[in-house]
Amino acid sequence: MTDEEIVDVIIVGAGISGLYAAYRIRQIAPELKILVLEAKDRVGGRTLTADLKTSHDGNETDRFDLGGQWVTDTQENITTLLEELQLETYMQYHTGKSISELHRRVQKYGLPVPFVSLLSFLETIYSVFRLESLVSNVPPWNPMMTRNADYLDQHTLADLMKPWIRNSATPLLTAAVRTVFGCEPEQVNALFALTYAQAGGGFMRLSLTDPGCAQEKKIKGGSQQVSQLLVERIGKEQVRLETPVQKIVQNDDGTVLVTTTQNHKTFQCRKLILAIPPSQIIPIQFEPMLPGYKREMLKHMPIGCCIKFIFIFDKAFWREDGLSGEVISDGSFAPHGHSIGPMTYLIDGTSSNGTPALLGFIGGRCASVWTSATHEERRKGLIECLSRYFGGHKISTHLIEYVEKDWNVEPYSGGCPCHNATTGSMKDFVDGLRKPYKMIHFAGTETATQWMGYMDGAVDAGRRAASEVLVSFRDNNQLKDNDIDQYTFENQNRKYQNVRVPRSKFYYAIPIIVVSIAAICKMLFPKML
């Protein structure tokens, strides 16, 4: 082995997006030499599957996901890949009533939206209708083509919703934003939030467990298998772990030199794919520097805050009580004092083997505050939450294990579930994240146009980046392959450059629907309105 290894393509990042790009290149052009460099000591990126204790004596274990885990049949990219890898899925359990803890009030509900009060219910329904109408007008390939794009870009999601809701509905919507984005409504760019939702089919689809929605199914054996099986297809010798990239130099002769922190080892290639989170690109030294629009976009894409936890039990007692296990809460910022606990979202986490579990998230500001608490303080706070929802005796009697993953302190991730644009940055969004720069191409789920932030988006982005690389290596005499060419940034940008999404017809029905609901509720519950 020489001091400088020479290959055709280097992929930086061994998450699903980078590994799928490598897999795609290997499938179509096996003559190309590829190499994947990964800073962590494992593959999988923001997916992570672990063997956890499932018996009181500790002799039995089962596999659970501590990172991204859900898929749905409407996600064609990841669904097709799962079939290729012969991985099976199973349904997310959602039978029974759910629980909400909002305004320090715990109650059960059987509707898609908690019924805290009639006013709160109406405001929430109206806000969802308004948001979904705006979402339908956003072209994910170029959000700045949206009507009123400049206004939306200059305001946060909280600004956008403020005229529609009063304090009664705010906790519920805040909890939903913390779960989906890992931040507060005051922190995320309104146009970005709409773009993110559009890529997944709308806010309701991102929030529910129903068929076609984001939390519909889970992968048997865990989602990290996707990356592990891709490595087997690519070749384990082509993937280098614990190899952080320190410097990338693009030379005039068309070569790229990649220097790693591992003994300052240097690799040479002709094309490079960056498939790492936006926040992890910033520390890398580039020669020449990345264009200003890329640097600005990267600086304005902070990652969300998220702590995922799993409680394993010897019995699914919530199911026996007619509950789905789903809970949404506005949580608490204070680990001490009059805290109601850090809970943001909870859901049935029972494994494919039937091991009973409840899994959940601490998100947004709650996560950024509670990350400074100790493991035991978080465990205690969450057990107090579960005790209010399901009964303290049941929790203490049936609890086997508590495990958490604080993604805020995960090396080379720094947070979860996704990066979120801040106000005034969306003018650079498309070129800043997706557009190739000389010999460098960009992947990662944040660069996707379909299901951005999800495993499906990671595959979508990996395919686009791989297509761009494959086109660049193609001989001039070779015929174009539509299965490759249609996915490149250049072709997508040209195809959709002047396309606008028409205003949703549903927009005009919103006032009629809300007034009708209010009239019905007035008749049924005259004292509540």
Predicted confidence (pLDDT) per residue in 268-293, tens digit? 999 999 999 999 999 999 999 999 99
H or E segment at 181? helix 170-181
Quote the DSSP letter at residue 410: -
Residue 211 to residue 75: CA distance in whole angstroms:
11
pLDDT at 203 over 80: yes
CB 522 within 8 A of CB 167: no
Mean pLDDT of the chain: 90
Alpha-carbon distances of 203 from 70, 132, 218, 303, 455, rounded to whole Å? 16, 7, 20, 19, 17
Say how far residue 480 (Cα) sits from the centre of its chain: 33
Report field, pTM of the whole predicted structure over 0.75: yes
Residue 454 to residue 205: CA distance in whole angstroms:
13
pLDDT at 528 over 60: no
H or E segment at 469? helix 455-473
- Which residue, among 39, 48, 47, 52, has the nearest Cα to 12 in the 3D structure? 39
Alpha-carbon distances of 380 from 392, 397, 401, rounded to whole Å? 12, 15, 13
Residue 63 to residue 307: CA distance in whole angstroms:
18
Q: Is 181 exposed, middle or buried (0-12, 13-18, 19+ CB in 10 A)?
A: buried
Q: For residue 247, how many other CB atoms are within 10 A of its CB?
A: 15
Alpha-carbon distances of 447 from 10, 186, 276, 475, rounded to whole Å? 18, 23, 10, 28
pLDDT at 520 over 70: no
Which amino acid, residue 336?
H
Residue 200 to residue 456: CA distance in whole angstroms:
10
Task: Give the bridge partners for 108, in sequence order.
Answer: 99
Q: For residue 285, how many other CB atoms are within 10 A of its CB?
A: 11
How do strand 61-65 and strand 49-53 relate by DSSP bridges?
Answer: antiparallel
Binned at pLDDT 50, 70 and 90, residue 309 comes out as very high
CB 144 within 8 A of CB 429: yes
| pLDDT tens per residue across span 367-423 | 999 999 999 999 999 999 999 999 999 999 999 999 999 999 999 999 999 999 999
Place of tokens 């629980």: 99
Query: Looking at residue 485, what is its pLDDT?
Result: 72
Quote the DSSP letter at residue 252: T
Q: Which domains does the chain have, with CATH numbers?
A: 4-45+223-301+419-496 (3.50.50.60), 49-76+85-95+304-409 (3.90.660.10), 113-207+508-524 (1.10.405.10)
Binned at pLDDT 50, 70 and 90, residue 498 comes out as low
